[in-house]
Structure 1
Amino acid sequence: MATLIRPPPPDPEKSSIESVLELFRLSDIDPNLFTNKQPLWHPPGARGVYGGAVIAQCLSAAMRTVPDNFNIHSMHCYFVLNGSSEIPIIYHVERVREGKSFCTRTVQARQRGQPIFTTTMSFMREGSGGKELVKHSVEMDDVPQPVKENGSQRFPQGLEGPFQSQRIDITNHRSKYPQLKKTRQWIKARGKISESGGQAAHLEALAYMSDSYFIGTVARVHRLWRFSNSRPIDNNKVKIDDDVSKSVRDLEEQEVAQSPMETRPEIGMMVSLDHTIYFHAPKDFRADEWLFTEMSSPWAGDGRGLVFQHIYTQKGKLVATCVQEGVVRLRQQEQSKL
């Protein structure tokens, strides 16, 4: 069973991303325990559920335990085990610290009694920084603006998925130096996030979308094959709809079309290890309006890769910075038997 309690009917007043991330509070057991209302998405070919959902639901659980005048400013996450889409997730919030200016929470996501994900979050009391502030920010590049719906629209989780994106060409795409390249895209939640969801719903949606194509940046800047005709994704291994299956096949065809005769190394394994989000302006954006994300990889080696991500509003305000490290292993050539 994918949820502990029967999922409620869809609420027409809420956006799809709100419905995906809704939690039940298990108050009769422990007011610090929560569980997912809806089954979580398992990406085709992935080892477990989409990590962005667990990140966002941990954030949602923690925010319910802090005063309304405290805002999230950072969360540091570790992916411990693969999460199953067939088993409910239990989120346990620990109230680590209650301070005048800062409070701290840790959240463990558990399945079968084992932690699959753990995160520590820090919240800051609104206005506690003082009247005189040190301020600066990295500026957003001059990039093509998102366009109205056309062929450039992408739905990473199918046509009914909770968010959509538009990719922009990689900067320095032909450079031999991967660390000089930047992958860029516009993202936003589909539909309109409800007034009842408040800014918490926009923060959860940003956290959810921040994991989209994140560690995959390493593969893109190295121009590695992520899909192979010799090793096609078996859609029978995970339950996915036709729209998501089509999205995966479109990506496969896109890679082949871009370099049909090129011999390049192929990804053998790529999974996230950790994920950090710094929320710079938690009340100054809407996740159902276009957000610009820019990703770069300063380093890769020893079977791992590191990626930085900046997230801006359409007007160029930097609202979040994210960091992720993951396993990035090449498919090894079979050694000839002696």
Structure 2
Amino acid sequence: MNSALKELLDLLDLERIELDIFRGRSPEERIQRVFGGQVAAQALVAAGRTVPDDRMVHSLHAYFIRPGDPAIPIVYNVERVRDGRSFTTRRVTAIQHGKVIFSLSASFHISEEGVGHQAALMPRVPEPETLPTFQERMRTVVGDEPMWRDWLSKPRPVDARYVNALPWEAQRDPSLVTTENHVWFRYDAELPDDPLLHVVLAAYASDFTLVDTVLLAHGLAWGSSDVTGASLDHAMWFHRPFRADEWILYSQESPWSGGARGLARGQMFTASGDLAVSVVQECMIRVNKDVTKP
């Protein structure tokens, strides 16, 4: 297990400071704001720690309200909305500087038998082992610039393999612009057999590339002086058990953008083709038309 994954697992092990109140921290990096996937994952951990072990999360709905400050801890307050015979509902608010920065509602369900079908088919894409890592792809984009070299040399908790273009590649080559974005990912270490942990890690990874999918549709990329963006809201449905330490195909598309907002949808498939998770996110995308693209 590399140091980045170990640190992520430590970040997800929240401190309980009172009944239904938890405290989480951020990585020791002075970035502009806390990564949205981290806040969503920590909030889901907080909710899950107030729910009986026989109930697994089947859906979450969340809003990103204010940027998180990575320099101070985040306090998570859990409200026990309902404890039913088969469903349990929790509401979580994340607080910094006395203000709510994020809110999440999650529903948990006991294991039950029922009818089943799957209309979605996993796209036919290259196997993950045949694709370069994210770091290898980025090195072909940024070359040997010292700032990027140091960033790319750091270990990452998630091994991500992009099937199609990175946003920076599509920005340089308009023929690569697309409304689809397929990414294989896994946590490259054997993880404990804790179902909630694997769900939480999928929630963490789900926020990495959804906004990228909207950017890809317009040949835009992060780091450009004319582009700013942020996640606005996020919804996930968990359909069946899966392991985050095995390859998952995150198949994403952006059906719409306009009015400084964009919508992205995603489906996570196991390597065997089973649909495990559905995701929808709306994001903010602002483009400064006065800045000339490189």
TM-score of the alignment, normalized to the shorter chain, above 0.5: yes
Q: Deviations over 1:19-69 (max 9, x none)?
A: 23221111xxx2101111x4337695xx41111011001111111111111
1:117-168: per-residue Cα shift (whole Å, max 9, x none)? 00111111211xx44x1423311011101117x8x11259853221120100
1:11 CA drift (Å): 12
Q: Find the residue that maps to 1:204 and give its secondary structure.
A: helix
In structure 1, C-alpha distance between the alignment counterparts of 2:29 and 2:275, rounded to whole Å? 30
- Matched with 1:184 is 182
SS at match of 2:161: strand
Find out whether 1:270 has 2:270 as its counterpart.
no
Contact 1:16 1:161 (8 Å CA) reproduced? no
Q: Are 1:109 and 1:117, in contact at CA under 8 Å, matched by a contact in 2?
A: yes
User: How far apart are residue 194 of structure 1 and its match?
Assistant: 2.7
In structure 2, what is the equivalent of residue 32 of structure 1?
Answer: 20
The answer to whether 1:160 aligns with 2:155 is yes
> Contact conserved, 1:41 with 1:50, CA < 8 A, in 2?
no
- The verdict on how the C-alpha distance between 1:225 and 1:34 changes in structure 2, with shifts beyond 3 A counting, is closer
- Which of residues 111, 124, 136 in structure 2 aligns to 1:142? 124
Counterpart position of 2:10: 19
Counterpart of 1:147 in 2: which secondary structure?
helix
C-alpha RMSD over aligned residues: 2.8
CA distance in 2, matches of 1:16, 1:82: 22
Opposite residue 39 of structure 1, the aligned amino acid is S
Read off the aligned partner of 2:88 and give its amino acid letter: C
Check 1:15–1:137 CA distance in 2 against 1; reply closer, same or farther (3 A cut).
farther
Is 1:209 aligned to 2:205, yes or no? yes
Q: Deviations over 1:268-304 (max 9, x none)?
A: x2111001111111x2x11011110111011101110
Tell me the distance in 2 between the aligned counterparts of 1:183 and 1:74. Answer: 23
Identity of aligned residues (%): 33
**Offset, 1:91:** 0.5
Q: Deviations over 1:66-89 (max 9, x none)?
A: 111111111000001000110100
| Residue segments in structure 2 that go unaligned for 5+ positions in a row | 139-150
Q: 2:52 aligns with which of 52, 67, 77?
A: 67
Structure ranking higher in helix proportion = 2
**Mapped partners of 1:77, 1:299: distance in 2:** 20
Structure 1 residue 226 corresponds to structure 2 residue 185: no
Give the whole-Å Cα distance in 2 for the aligned partners of 1:327 and 1:97. Answer: 32
- 8 Å CA contact 1:17, 1:163 repeated in 2: no
Equivalent-residue separation in structure 2 for 1:75 and 1:187 (angstroms): 21
Change (3 A) 1:168 1:73: same
- Secondary structure in 2 matching 1:169: coil
CA distance in 1, matches of 2:53, 2:106: 15
- 1:16, distance to aligned residue in structure 2 (A): 4.5
Quick one: which amino acid aligns to residue 77 of structure 2? H
CA deviations over 1:78-106 (Å, ceiling 9, x no partner): 00100011010000100001111211100
1:207 counterpart letter in structure 2: A
Partner of 1:260: none
Q: Is the CA contact 2:2–2:157 (under 8 Å) kept in the aligned structure 1?
A: no
The answer to whether the Cα contact below 8 Å between 2:123 and 2:251 also exists between their aligned partners in 1 is no
Alpha-carbon separation, structure 1, partners of 2:28 and 2:195: 24
Does the 8 Å CA contact 1:20/1:162 hold for their aligned counterparts? no
> Does structure 2 retain, via aligned residues, the 8 Å contact 1:56–1:205?
yes
Alpha-carbon offset, residue 315 of structure 1:
1.1
Q: Which amino acid aligns with 2:45?
A: S
TM-score normalised to the size of structure 2?
Answer: 0.83
Aligned to 1:246: none
Identify the residue that residue 300 of structure 1 maps to in structure 2: 257
Q: 1:43·1:49 contact (CA, 8 Å) conserved in 2?
A: no
- Measured after TM superposition, the shift of residue 220 of structure 1 is 0.9
Q: 1:218 to 1:192 in 2, by over 3 A?
A: same
> How many Å separate the matches in 2 of 1:42 and 1:200?
27
Residues 99 and 185 of structure 1, relative CA distance in 2, 3 Å threshold: same
**Count of aligned positions:** 270
In 2: Cα distance, 1:191 partner to 1:145 partner: 19
